[in-house]
Structure 1
Amino acid sequence: MMKQQSARLETRAGEALTLKGARFEGSLRSTLFEASLEQRFANPFDRHVELIYTFPLPWAAVLLGVDVLIGDRRLSGAVVERKQAEQGYEDAIAEGNTAILLEQNLDGSYTVNLGNLAPGETCVLRLRYAQVLQFEQQGLRLVVPTVIAPRYGDPVADAGLKPHQVVEHDLMVAYPFELSLRIEGALARARIGSPSHPLSMRLKGEGETSAMVVSLARDGQLDRDFILVLDEVVQDSLALCAQDTVQPGAVSVLTSFCPRVPAAEHPLAVKILVDCSGSMQGDSIATARRALQAIVAGLREGERFSLSRFGNTVEHRSRALWRTSAATRLAGQRWTAGLQADLGGTEMEKALDSTLALAGDAAVSLGAEEGAAPVDLLLITDGQIHAIERTVAKARALGHRVFVVGIGSASAEGVLRRLAEETAGACDFVAPGEAVQSAVLRMFARLRSQRMASLELAWPAGVKPVWMSALPGSVFDGDAVTAWARFAQVPDGTVRLVGRRAHAMAPELLGEASLTAVEHDSALNRMAVAAQIETLFAGEGAHSRQALELAVAYQLVSPLTHFLLVETRAEAGKPADMPDLVKVPSMLPAGFGGLGSLDFCIDPCMAPLTVNEAPEHYGSPAAASGAYLDFDDPFDAPVVLRSGRRADRGDTANKAGTYDIPAFLRRSANQDAGQPPRDDPRYWCAEPHYTGLTPLGLTQWLRSHPQAEWPQGHAELRRIGVGAAVLDWLEFVLAEGEGEALVVACFVQAMAQRDVHEALLSDTGTLGRLEALAQRVAAGAALKVIQADPAAEPINARLQVFVAVLRAQSWPDCVFELRDEVTVLG
């Protein structure tokens, strides 16, 4: 007789799955979002198992309750002290009973332990949570995280996770995901879209009772965060009161202000640091390129910026902050074009240290020239690191504001928001396929906002909170400022947000709201208590007795408390042995590490960057100089094209190599006998801001090769080892509209002059020799570069001054600052 097998969910490799899928439901009223996440588990094996699954909840979400259905049995548990819960769980498992333990991990993730699930048994876990969304630049962004991406570092040593809490990933698993959202009130009439999933939307009801019901237009999976964006939202300051559910007469208050902060008077000065570690491969690095292109195009004349990238190591494009000009903007676009996720692990601490220490003197001089011009840091990353504690401490100690653009289908929102908030910066996010311009414009608005030295809340006369959450270290125009407070009695009146600018005598009113009537809203009240617990835990350590008592009294899962459920089984249903441990693997995020790409279906209001977009779309002045950005596909790097008398580059430029080692160092010893070694700093520089031939190295190469082998274009200069800084200076500063072949020929012949080589090679020091050479240049007796083209005369004149300031082991400052040495010396 044929044995029939019931249907079951399997991996692509045919293995049985223990997680059958997830369903998400939520409702959004004003800024308060309440949701439930339903996870469905099953034991497909012929033995008892203990299932362990680690998953994310949104940043600042408060877990309000857990409902459990095992088979057809509805069960309930309680939140108890951590050690008590862990011991109770282990005792229940050892006695053969079913137990569920839900933990909040130190990195903000959650782990559910489902012990002694019988063969063929199912379990449905329903988690209820709430969060307050933040108005940002007239919009709301709702994120439902579904997956935790692999992170760099040691999860146990760096993040404080226990071994069973560490996420494991499996390329072969696929879990279905369903979603239904209800957007109520005025928000139902906002412009709604999703950069992560195609949506199906229908409007229910009319007027004030209307609601927009949002669901997925096609089947989803737990491989990317769900993102919903509401634009064109009218912001209002508010102050909501909720009666306490435990302490009679007590009241919890949520205040949210929408301040208007004027732009700063000083020009922007920002250090841009982009993550090029391995986790950024694929969609993330492509999105980062698009974001950087928009950032560089959005800089205004006279503002200053630097460009750096990091992974295991840090590479700086310049030694100091560039002043924005046509040359530096084009150089920045070229640098962005070559970005690859090829620098290994995410050593963010070292990168912050190196970048924030970059060009300190330049920042001070900028302030002296133009008034207070503090330098900020703009970080572009997916945030996939475990060592967030050390990273935040490093950023805080360095004293710079850190602004973050989070990239990817599952960026570590909690990590990035904490890094930004603890340094008085701000955070924004761009998903693959999402138009980057909006996020970049929002970030520029924050960077250009006037700094406030201090913020405070002014409560009505005679009203004083028992506890209040700390206000943020900074406030930005168009971004909400949210604070929680708890009172012993009902407060009445108007609460005001007041700020004081640096060096200002009088405070300024930034926003005000009337305290509304007290409501019986247990979610709002428990969220206020959760904020108080977080403050106590951070300030007093993991053994804060008050935080523990509050968490137990209000039944809140925290790092100090766990949710525990125990079901006593009949003796006949108990296993004879301890259950087998089965870790539920996580899906890899879509597009992570270059493994595939997201299949987008973008809402019209979230349209991605248009192919062959003209630079005027970005407000770029490149058009005025005869340059434009040309994208073969949305993720391609810009190709800079020039008008005027510039020659066509032809195939030579299109075949540009990526070699970092000059030709004479790649040849064998027999072929290049007597050539200088690469480890000699006189000939080769390997610094974070420049890697390539030194001036002496280039003259040595030219003197060692016949003129027929000399480079004739930028690509050939790059192949022999000339670094990007020199190439950009030749193209964007020296050329001034002339063709590439002419500029390169003049430069090569100038560097090949015997007087230049001997001066650089001199044992008595190059300074005296080159100063003498400069005097000869002024007399017209040196650098007889032969060029029949009259257009070569102004190029050669400027090159004469250029070589006069050369040093054997370093290129002049004008190369790294992308300015004309003639102007400086003249």
Structure 2
Amino acid sequence: MKWMTVFSLTWVAVMSWAAGTLTPVSSTDQLPQITDHVVHVVINNGFAMTTVEQVFVNPNDKPIEALYTVPVPQSAALSEMSILLGDLELQGEVLPRDEAERVYQEEKNQGNEAGLATKEAFDTFAFRVTPVPAQGQSRFRYVYYQPIQIDTSVGRYVYPLQEGGTDKAAVDFWTRNTAVNGRFEFDLTLKSAWPISAIRLPGVSDAVLSQNNGQHQVTIQRTEMDLTNDIVVYYQLAENLPGRVELMAYRPDDQTDGTFMLILTPGLDLKPLNNGANYVFVLDYSGSMDSKIAALQQGVQQALGQMNADDQFRIIHFGSSAVEWAGWTQATLENVQQISNKMAKAGRLGGTNLYNGLQAGLQRLDDDRATSLILITDGVANEGLVNPRDFHDLMRQYDLRVFGFLMGNNTNWPLMRAIANASGGFYAGVSNADDIIGQVLLAKSKITHEALHDAQLSIKGVNTYGVNKDFLGKIYRGQQLVFFGRYTKPGRAKLELHATLSGADKTYQCAFDFPEIDTDHPELERLWALASIEHAADMAHAGLLEATEADDVARSLGLTYQLVTDQTSMVVMRDEQFSAHGIERRNRDRIALERQAQTDRSQQPIITRRVDQDQPMFDRSAPSIGGGALDPWYVLLASLALAAAWFGTRTKS
């Protein structure tokens, strides 16, 4: 996150930086100071609400306009921006992007209090506030929602603070101040219908954990803190919980279509892959990886050293071009040592031609052996083919498992999602604050166990539409499936999951009711809208929808459900100014509805949302993390987390 002093509305490229105040290197003005940074998080079964409130001080003798940016968390629905003037809250409304910017400029030119929230590319939310009074302070707040998925019975929440290291231009352009010269507070409330066995915050020694009425609380309070490292919260569910289906729905009356969030936590008989397998490592050696390479190399070397003797591997590293370090190589001690020596001498390879790296990794596959491709990168594709459709077309040609790992923040989630969707693969982020267990849970058992293939979901008996997924491709061990959709009328529905396992057809099914009235979770409408926007973008990346149509979806749903998207922005000003501009107060009314529901939920006990108790969809427990010997994937993913953490230390110093 960062602050920048701006004296004209010249739309400079918003750079990806760590949390803190920013000003151009050429500026003679003093940096705005952060005096309070307060984060409140509520995880309510399937989704999280994050509220950030910040106070900053302008030490200059003239008013300024300030720009504050944050890394976009994965699938985050930005729904609120407010400027707080004592007891008065100025709330924002979402408009088409050009109109929001025009209105903000008019208010700024008149000297009125105003704010603007925009989405810049795929990785940054930007907030502008004007005017910040001379020698005075300003307070503002923003809120976003995001789905939280359980993986191998572990949930993971990330509050991103650290910059991703992918934008050298930002380093050259900005001067930054990452200090909080006052209060820093991080408060997380965890509400789960399923028992929690452990909570962990890697690298945090001063977190206070408490429990009351089934709710778990995590609190961090500090003074004079640097905003340079992410905060990661893991929570582990109790073992031997059933595979299950959960439904959260919102339908305010019998005349309105309902919205639902369907969560499948499979309990499947996916056996370990004990025969020899093939592994292709595709490693990003571009310039932005420079400070992460040493730890990355060590992890890959140790992973190779602990492979089974009948395993085979290839290693591709790429930057501006791709280089094969090793063709198919038996994982003998001698071969591993030779490759390790070669890796240690490798240099950086310039830009990031991700397509070329993947293309090289997909050559000379053995159809008779199970093959997994492990892609590790921290940046965005900036050389060669960069259109997601090209990646989709490439990956659709091959039947193999793809596991993508994005190191740090400000990474290209949409592109990695396109790669994973096309291949039926799995992807995850690696934060600077992650630790071994978190990354093991994301990938280890998926690489080393069977997977369901050709998975497809259907809902019968109730008219549903706008479901963000139906064809799933592969389903891996420990993977939780989350679906958003709409339904027209209540009633009894039959849910079916069709797939193949080891060549045999499998069907899993259950029946449950979609409610006639349910007012508990109005936030689901925004989450569904964002999922639909992402789905439209994925369709465009796959060539199944025109890019202009995907933009229309983002614009229409962004306006209807008041979300900041690539096509919409949020403008903040006084109530009378909204009236003067003839702007309807859609978001004000939606916020009031959501806040009332949140207040009501806070006074109620946590209830289970499971709907398949009478007819369980799965006959086994959901998998959980287990013990066992250290294997190569454990070591590799531990090292990825260490690499990211080491990079964070280097950046801070």
Q: Which residue of 1 aligns with 2:325?
A: 317
Cα distance in structure 2, aligned partners of 1:440 and 1:141 = 12
Larger radius of gyration: 1
Question: How do 1:30-69 residues align onto structure 2 when only pairs under 5 Å count?
Answer: 30-69=45-84
> Helix, strand or coil: the match of 1:239?
strand
Distance 1:198 1:415, change over 3 A: farther
Greater helix proportion: 1
> Helix, strand or coil: the match of 1:301?
coil
Q: Which residue of 2 aligns with 1:296?
A: 304
Cα distance in structure 1, aligned partners of 2:83 and 2:76 = 20
Is residue 220 of structure 2 the alignment partner of residue 215 of structure 1?
yes
Q: Which residue of 2 aligns with 1:183?
A: 190
Question: How do 1:187-202 residues align onto structure 2 when only pairs under 5 Å count?
Answer: 189-202=196-209
Q: Which residue of 2 aligns with 1:466?
A: 465
**Displacement, 1:545?**
4.6
Which among 121, 124, 130 is matched to residue 115 of structure 1? 130
Q: Is the 8 A contact 1:244 1:251 kept in 2?
A: yes
> Helix, strand or coil: the match of 1:317?
strand
Cα distance in structure 2, aligned partners of 1:220 and 1:340 = 37
Question: How do 1:71-110 residues align onto structure 2 when only pairs under 5 Å count?
Answer: 73-110=88-125
Cα distance in structure 2, aligned partners of 1:387 and 1:566 = 42
Distance 1:229 1:487, change over 3 A: same
Question: How do 1:348-359 residues align onto structure 2 when only pairs under 5 Å count?
Answer: 348-357=354-363
Deviations 1:673-697 (A, max 9, x none): xxxxxxxxxxxxxxxxxxxxxxxxx
Q: Which residue of 1 aligns with 2:411?
A: 412
Cα distance in structure 1, aligned partners of 2:576 and 2:46 = 44
Distance 1:170 1:465, change over 3 A: same
Is residue 151 of structure 2 the alignment partner of residue 136 of structure 1?
yes
Q: Which residue of 1 aligns with 2:595?
A: none
Which among 140, 146, 153 is matched to residue 125 of structure 1? 140
Name the stretch that deviates more: 395-404 or 230-239.
230-239
Question: How do 1:606-685 residues align onto structure 2 when only pairs under 5 Å count?
Answer: 618-619=630-631
Q: Which residue of 2 aligns with 1:347?
A: 353
Distance 1:322 1:91, change over 3 A: same
Q: Which residue of 1 aligns with 2:528?
A: 528
User: How many aligned residue pairs are there?
Assistant: 541
Q: Which residue of 2 aligns with 1:250?
A: 257
Amino acid at match of 1:345: G
Question: How do 1:286-685 residues align onto structure 2 when only pairs under 5 Å count?
Answer: 286-318=294-326, 320-336=327-343, 338=344, 342-357=348-363, 360=364, 363=365, 366-367=366-367, 371=368, 373=369, 375-383=371-379, 390=386, 392-399=388-395, 400=398, 401-408=401-408, 410=409, 412=411, 414=413, 417-418=416-417, 420-423=419-422, 424-432=424-432, 435-436=435-436, 439-440=439-440, 442-460=442-460, 462-471=461-470, 472-501=472-501, 504=504, 506-509=505-508, 514-515=512-513, 517=515, 519-520=518-519, 521-536=521-536, 538=540, 539-542=545-548, 545=552, 547-567=554-574, 618-619=630-631
Distance 1:202 1:465, change over 3 A: same
Amino acid at match of 2:185: E
Q: Is the 8 A contact 1:241 1:515 kept in 2?
A: no
**Displacement, 1:175?**
4.3
Q: Is the 8 A contact 2:119 2:126 kept in 1?
A: yes
Cα distance in structure 2, aligned partners of 1:102 and 1:541 = 23
Cα distance in structure 2, aligned partners of 1:433 and 1:407 = 11
Amino acid at match of 2:446: R
> Helix, strand or coil: the match of 1:403?
strand
Cα distance in structure 1, aligned partners of 2:40 and 2:568 = 26
Is residue 277 of structure 2 the alignment partner of residue 278 of structure 1?
no
Cα distance in structure 2, aligned partners of 1:488 and 1:218 = 51
Distance 1:11 1:151, change over 3 A: closer
Deviations 1:326-360 (A, max 9, x none): 33333344445x16673333332332233333xx2
Distance 1:351 1:536, change over 3 A: closer
Distance 1:445 1:151, change over 3 A: same
**Displacement, 1:315?**
3.0
Structure 2: tracts of 5 or more residues without a match: 1-19, 578-627, 633-638, 644-653
Q: Is the 8 A contact 1:35 1:128 kept in 2?
A: yes
**Displacement, 1:561?**
1.6
Distance 1:397 1:262, change over 3 A: same
Cα distance in structure 1, aligned partners of 2:474 and 2:413 = 19
Q: Is the 8 A contact 2:122 2:412 kept in 1?
A: no
Distance 1:242 1:272, change over 3 A: same
Structure 1: tracts of 5 or more residues without a match: 1-8, 156-165, 571-615, 621-630, 636-826
**Displacement, 1:494?**
4.6
Distance 1:274 1:75, change over 3 A: same
Cα distance in structure 2, aligned partners of 1:188 and 1:507 = 30
Deviations 1:707-748 (A, max 9, x none): xxxxxxxxxxxxxxxxxxxxxxxxxxxxxxxxxxxxxxxxxx
Cα distance in structure 2, aligned partners of 1:188 and 1:218 = 33
Which among 127, 139, 148 is matched to residue 163 of structure 2? 148
RMSD (CA atoms): 3.8
Q: Is the 8 A contact 1:313 1:351 kept in 2?
A: yes
Distance 1:473 1:392, change over 3 A: farther
Cα distance in structure 2, aligned partners of 1:224 and 1:85 = 33
Q: Is the 8 A contact 1:294 1:618 kept in 2?
A: no
Cα distance in structure 2, aligned partners of 1:217 and 1:380 = 34
Cα distance in structure 2, aligned partners of 1:136 and 1:183 = 16
**Displacement, 1:378?**
0.6
**Displacement, 1:181?**
0.9
Q: Is the 8 A contact 1:18 1:43 kept in 2?
A: yes
**Displacement, 1:488?**
0.9
Cα distance in structure 2, aligned partners of 1:466 and 1:242 = 14
Distance 1:17 1:91, change over 3 A: same
Greater strand proportion: 2
Amino acid at match of 1:300: N
Q: Which residue of 1 aligns with 2:646?
A: none
Cα distance in structure 1, aligned partners of 2:483 and 2:222 = 37
Q: Is the 8 A contact 1:454 1:500 kept in 2?
A: yes
> Helix, strand or coil: the match of 1:350?
helix
> Helix, strand or coil: the match of 1:396?
helix
Cα distance in structure 1, aligned partners of 2:261 and 2:173 = 38
**Displacement, 1:144?**
1.0
Distance 1:147 1:514, change over 3 A: farther
Q: Which residue of 2 aligns with 1:771?
A: none
Amino acid at match of 2:322: V
Deviations 1:614-639 (A, max 9, x none): xx95358xxxxxxxxxx9xx99xxxx
Cα distance in structure 2, aligned partners of 1:324 and 1:441 = 24
Distance 1:343 1:172, change over 3 A: farther
Cα distance in structure 1, aligned partners of 2:51 and 2:563 = 16
Distance 1:441 1:103, change over 3 A: closer
Question: How do 1:755-774 residues align onto structure 2 when only pairs under 5 Å count?
Answer: none
Give the TM-score normalised by the residue count of structure 1.
Answer: 0.58
